[in-house]
Structure 1
Amino acid sequence: MASSFAAHVLRGRWFMAYGSFLIMSSAGATYIFAIYSKDIKATLGYTQEQLNTVGFFKDVGANVGIHAGLIAEVTPPWLVLAVGAAMNLGGYLMLYLSVTGRVRARPPLWLVCLYIAVGANSQAFANTGALVTCVKNFPESRGVMLGLLKGFVGLSGAIFTQLYLAFYGPGGGGDTKPLILLVGWLPAAVSVAFLGTIRIISAPRPPAAARREYRAFCSFLYVSLALAAYLLVAIVLQKRFRFTRAEYVVSAAVVFAMLLLPLGIVLREEAALFKINNMPEAQADAPALSVVTAATKPAAVPASAGLLSALRPPPRGEDYTILQALVSVDMLLLFTATVFGVGGTLTAIDNMGQIGESLGYPQRSISTFVSLISIWNYLGRVAAGFGSEALLARYRIPRPLLVAAVLLLTVPGHLLIAFGVPGSLYAASVLVGFCFGAAYPMILAIISELFGLRYYSTLYNVGNVASPVGSYILNVRVAGRMYDREAARQGAVAAVAGKGVTCVGARCYRESFLVVAAVTVAAALVTLALAWRTRVFYAGDIYARFKKDGSTGVSGNGVGEEAVVDGRL
């Protein structure tokens, strides 16, 4: 009995979800770029525009995952995760060797951009392999699942910081290059550890199991909230007092222990399923798997009629093809809002190190800003995931309307950065982190709701492409250029040897973040237009198709899927 229960746990949906949580908690290395970007700028002698170009390619790698989605359409999730692990290790290892001078000659800018793009692209593979698989396995709880999984990604920045301090000692104003090495090997190791766990499980679920889902997700939420609270307290204490190496190790050990706590929830849920599945009446009533052996040959149609049919979209909520989704007005509106809304928050996150430096904050405070962004990023994601799901279920409030509200809430954070009010960067980091976190899971949930789950692996990554587009426009072309122009005006281009171009004062980012605030307001208006277009769709039961037989409703390609009867393999 013990061995059969262990096999049941290892092959179950909940252990698969737990593996995805751990993969996501190590997949957000791109969000701590602001901590080690100063070392990249100093050792390689970059201007701010050049450093922002590196940051842009980091965003490109992290978010351009259409190829990962297409691979996932025809291969099992474990292969997607394996490719991502290899890219993570290779890209960040080469970046580490370049920054530490362990290569023969200093690499050109394009090669550094390539290294970080390859390393960061592993995040797209991790999202596609783990997150998309979870959404397909829990379709009726997709908003909650996206909030939790993206929440763990948001926490990963603070988790990495604690592990870095434990492995390499107090950071303070010292060397952050070892952090690049850490983000190279750790996410790869976690993904490899769960290669055999992450897979699509196509099966009807027992009614009793379906009713327990939300309570189980709430339990995961409570554990993650406790972890976030601990990280917040640890960050504040580490800023207030100087910790020893041993104290950092103890703090990291507590974080590791709290990451193991959800395993208790997994065992509880799988024990309940195991009990249900082993009842005599459940075994007697287990439905047989049906196999479709015949198909009606479609009648021949003219080529022009076939093209029109291919472009004509089905009703919202049904499974769109990739082409139908790409040419739809809904996707155009959502993509535009993400470019300028989420792109603005990403600009603030990537520049937080230089913003703090220009305003005269010490290095320890800058590290605190990055950690605060990570914590509030997490809180925004879980709040949006659970909150938007509850508001949708109870009051039929369209998710696009909530996205518009979140984007408007971001504007005060951008204005605080623009005017450089003394001490305001703490509040700005909270607002930017929370709103960036809240917008993302809702946007990704909207894509799955409007265009279906059949090609979600690819469409999920189409939505993610919008972020690097916005990052290039607002980060490189606006913030980076305006920073360098102000630095040149101050005569600081050659001011300090070994530190690249440095700008001092509130004017360094004033004009650029006024622009960011303005386009964020425009993005909110675009999202309101999408909310108006989809108001009838969200007024109905958008999950009705998944409630008919209790199945996942995913008609995948069959690669890597496992058929389950009543939760049993």
Structure 2
Amino acid sequence: MSSSAQQWLSLVGAIWLQTINGPNSDFPVYSSELKDLLTISQLQLNNLAFASDAGKLFGWLSGLAAVYLPLWLVLLIGSCLGLIGYGFQFLFLVHKFSKLSYWHVFLLTVLAGNGVCWINTVCYLICIQNFSSNQRSAVLGISTSYVGLSAKVYTVLADSFFHFLTSQSKAKSYLLLNATVPMLASIVTSPFTRKIHPANQEQLKSSALIFLFIITIATGVCAVISSVGSMSSGRRLATQHAISLGLLLALPLVIPVAMKFKQVLEDNKVHDLVSIHQVDVKEASEDNQSKEENIGASSMIKKLNFWLYYFSYMFSATLGLVFLNNMGQIAESRGLSKTSSLVSISSSFGFFGRLVPSLLDFYFSKNGHVISRTASMTILMAPIAGSFFLLLNQSNLSLYISTAVIGACTGAITCIAVSTTPELFGIKHFGVNHNVVVTNIPIGSLIFGFFAAFVYQNKENGSRSCMGSECFRTTFVLWGSICSFGTLLCFFLYLRTRKKFYLDTI
């Protein structure tokens, strides 16, 4: 297979991996049941939600490992961590282990959460190392957008394959899927998850990206339609949705197959030699341009821009993730019995939120314009703050709208951050640097989640659950205020970096 086809095949692998690399995103679906099975309080349940994020505190280990180990091995290590973390929890729930304490479950969840970082690191490095700078932002955006589908994929699989289980058995089915699906996907994709040095910059690259965008948008539309249908659908419709998503996820394979076919038909050895020279010169130029920006983690954390970026991320996307982790209890307090429909909505809109920034970046870059990523983050943070205040309204419509907006904007900021980190601090140490940046997620999850759980537990009035508008009212006010402050921090970061940004784009 030609190197260009291998290059795009590696991207297909990254897309598939990102699609299933959000096993923790289905936690709200079975969190209430897990709370009953383990006989734990709301604070302890919040600690389990935090535990999954806590694995990111050690995510930098995957960045270091990627420097010394082949990417396929880093990938398999990450999937093994998830298999152990979720697998033992599943065995406990089916009574294969009778003495698994709460703290055992906590540590296993941390382990599984760390496994997510290893797979993410592989996917990010594939996009950064295998594609030139003018393609990098687009392919990063496309691949990371698919992680927004994870919760949707897991709910569809659970509805399709475990429809015969009672509602009290959700936790078992989801934990089994969380343990096995990433491992199976890693085994399938490991042969082509490696660094590729393309022999040429394929002339089909623009049309290939456009085709990939079309497939991705179609996949998101399918997910949104099925999310709306999931509010009242049965097993047959869930199976149809699973088949549709499977076919759409297989479609990106058309690109490397088309490139291989084109390579067979053309005898362009001279053209390849010229292209190699052009690519080498271009890449050398890019390396020279970014040489001064490539700083390690120890130098990065000494910069004011890092801390502005760090807290802007924490006060926006991380807050959004905390909201999604608590969605099960939020829905329950409002009397909604089917949390899976909310999870599907947040997942589907999160998918589009991750995709749109890369689509806009691709469009404007073709017309000679570049969008400031710090400005984009600032603009996206304001709707999250507004959605928290909208949640003070107790109607179900406000809950659905806020869930969609928070899911979309959180996904967009998460996607933009993957490109913002190398933009601010260079690509040389990206594997470690970005994993340092995302340590804000477990820290924010602990602080904001603890506050929400503390307020909720004080409203329980002797029971193990809280019902009514007061359960999260104080929490939403605080979250909205913090996100508003984060918007100001991000705007300040934009003011500090815009001069450098415009110089770089001239």
**Normalization by structure 2: what TM-score?**
0.91
Name the residue aligned to 1:498.
none
1:253 aligns with 2:253: no
Instruction: Confirm or deny: 8 A CA contact 1:408 1:524 kept in the other structure.
Output: yes
Decide which of 155, 174, 182 is 2:177's aligned counterpart: 182
Name the residue aligned to 1:552.
none
1:348 match: secondary structure: helix
Name the residue aligned to 1:281.
270
1:454 match: secondary structure: coil
The separation in 2 between residues aligned to 1:81 and 1:329, in whole angstroms, is 33
Question: Any residues of structure 2 matched to 1:385-400 within 5 Å, and which?
Answer: 385-391=358-364, 394-400=368-374
Question: Any residues of structure 2 matched to 1:132-211 within 5 Å, and which?
Answer: 132-138=125-131, 139-169=133-163, 173-176=167-170, 177-203=172-198, 205-206=200-201, 209=202
The separation in 1 between residues aligned to 2:363 and 2:301, in whole angstroms, is 29
Name the residue aligned to 1:373.
346
Q: Deviations over 1:137-188 (max 9, x none)?
A: 1232232222211111001211111111111116784421211101110111
Q: Deviations over 1:524-569 (max 9, x none)?
A: 1111111111112221345x9xxxxxxxxxxxxxxxxxxxxxxxxx
1:130 aligns with 2:127: no
The separation in 2 between residues aligned to 1:260 and 1:396, in whole angstroms, is 31
The separation in 2 between residues aligned to 1:467 and 1:481, in whole angstroms, is 19
The separation in 2 between residues aligned to 1:491 and 1:326, in whole angstroms, is 45
Deviation at 1:384, TM superposition (A): 1.8
Structure 2: runs of 5+ lacking an equivalent:
281-288
| Aligned length, in residue pairs | 495
Question: Any residues of structure 2 matched to 1:490-529 within 5 Å, and which?
Answer: 490-492=461-463, 501-529=464-492
Instruction: Confirm or deny: 8 A CA contact 1:66 1:462 kept in the other structure.
Output: yes
> Which 10-residue stretch deviates more, 507-516 or 195-204?
195-204
Q: Deviations over 1:10-59 (max 9, x none)?
A: 97100111111111111111111101212210100111111000000111
Evaluate the alpha carbon distance shift between residue 465 and residue 214 of structure 1 in structure 2; reply closer, same or farther with a 3 A threshold: farther
Evaluate the alpha carbon distance shift between residue 326 and residue 212 of structure 1 in structure 2; reply closer, same or farther with a 3 A threshold: farther
Name the residue aligned to 1:405.
379
Decide which of 351, 358, 369 is 2:326's aligned counterpart: 351
The separation in 2 between residues aligned to 1:78 and 1:40, in whole angstroms, is 34
Greater per-residue helix proportion = 2
Instruction: Confirm or deny: 8 A CA contact 2:374 2:420 kept in the other structure.
Output: yes
Evaluate the alpha carbon distance shift between residue 192 and residue 360 of structure 1 in structure 2; reply closer, same or farther with a 3 A threshold: same
The separation in 2 between residues aligned to 1:89 and 1:409, in whole angstroms, is 37
Name the residue aligned to 2:356.
383
Deviation at 1:109, TM superposition (A): 2.4
Write the letter of the residue equivalent to 1:164: A
Instruction: Confirm or deny: 8 A CA contact 2:6 2:256 kept in the other structure.
Output: no
Structure 1: runs of 5+ lacking an equivalent:
1-6, 292-313, 493-500, 545-569
Write the letter of the residue equivalent to 1:51: L
Question: Any residues of structure 2 matched to 1:308-457 within 5 Å, and which?
Answer: 318-363=293-338, 366-391=339-364, 394-457=368-431
The separation in 1 between residues aligned to 2:252 and 2:56, in whole angstroms, is 27
Instruction: Confirm or deny: 8 A CA contact 1:34 1:352 kept in the other structure.
Output: yes
Q: Deviations over 1:452-508 (max 9, x none)?
A: 1111111121122111111111012x1111111111xx332xxxxxxxx20111111
Instruction: Confirm or deny: 8 A CA contact 1:14 1:266 kept in the other structure.
Output: yes
Give the CA RMSD over aligned residues: 2.5
Deviation at 1:251, TM superposition (A): 3.0
Evaluate the alpha carbon distance shift between residue 10 and residue 109 of structure 1 in structure 2; reply closer, same or farther with a 3 A threshold: farther
The separation in 2 between residues aligned to 1:284 and 1:350, in whole angstroms, is 52
The separation in 2 between residues aligned to 1:10 and 1:387, in whole angstroms, is 25
Deviation at 1:78, TM superposition (A): 1.0
Q: Deviations over 1:96-121 (max 9, x none)?
A: 1233333122x332211111111122
Name the residue aligned to 1:99.
93
2:21 match: secondary structure: coil
Write the letter of the residue equivalent to 2:255: I
**Structure exhibiting the larger radius of gyration computed from Cα positions:** 1
Deviation at 1:260, TM superposition (A): 0.8
Instruction: Confirm or deny: 8 A CA contact 1:378 1:434 kept in the other structure.
Output: yes
Name the residue aligned to 1:120.
113
Q: Deviations over 1:64-110 (max 9, x none)?
A: 411111111222111110101111111101111233333122x3322
Instruction: Confirm or deny: 8 A CA contact 1:380 1:437 kept in the other structure.
Output: yes
The separation in 2 between residues aligned to 1:236 and 1:315, in whole angstroms, is 45
Deviation at 1:387, TM superposition (A): 2.1
The separation in 2 between residues aligned to 1:214 and 1:351, in whole angstroms, is 41
The separation in 1 between residues aligned to 2:83 and 2:4, in whole angstroms, is 27
The separation in 2 between residues aligned to 1:349 and 1:115, in whole angstroms, is 21
Write the letter of the residue equivalent to 2:156: Q
Name the residue aligned to 1:267.
257
The separation in 2 between residues aligned to 1:232 and 1:152, in whole angstroms, is 13
Instruction: Confirm or deny: 8 A CA contact 1:419 1:510 kept in the other structure.
Output: no
The separation in 2 between residues aligned to 1:151 and 1:65, in whole angstroms, is 20
The separation in 1 between residues aligned to 2:449 and 2:25, in whole angstroms, is 15
Name the residue aligned to 2:283.
none
Name the residue aligned to 2:494.
531
> Which 10-residue stretch deviates more, 315-324 or 422-431?
315-324
Instruction: Confirm or deny: 8 A CA contact 1:396 1:540 kept in the other structure.
Output: no
Write the letter of the residue equivalent to 1:199: R
Q: Deviations over 1:319-348 (max 9, x none)?
A: 223322222222111111112222210111
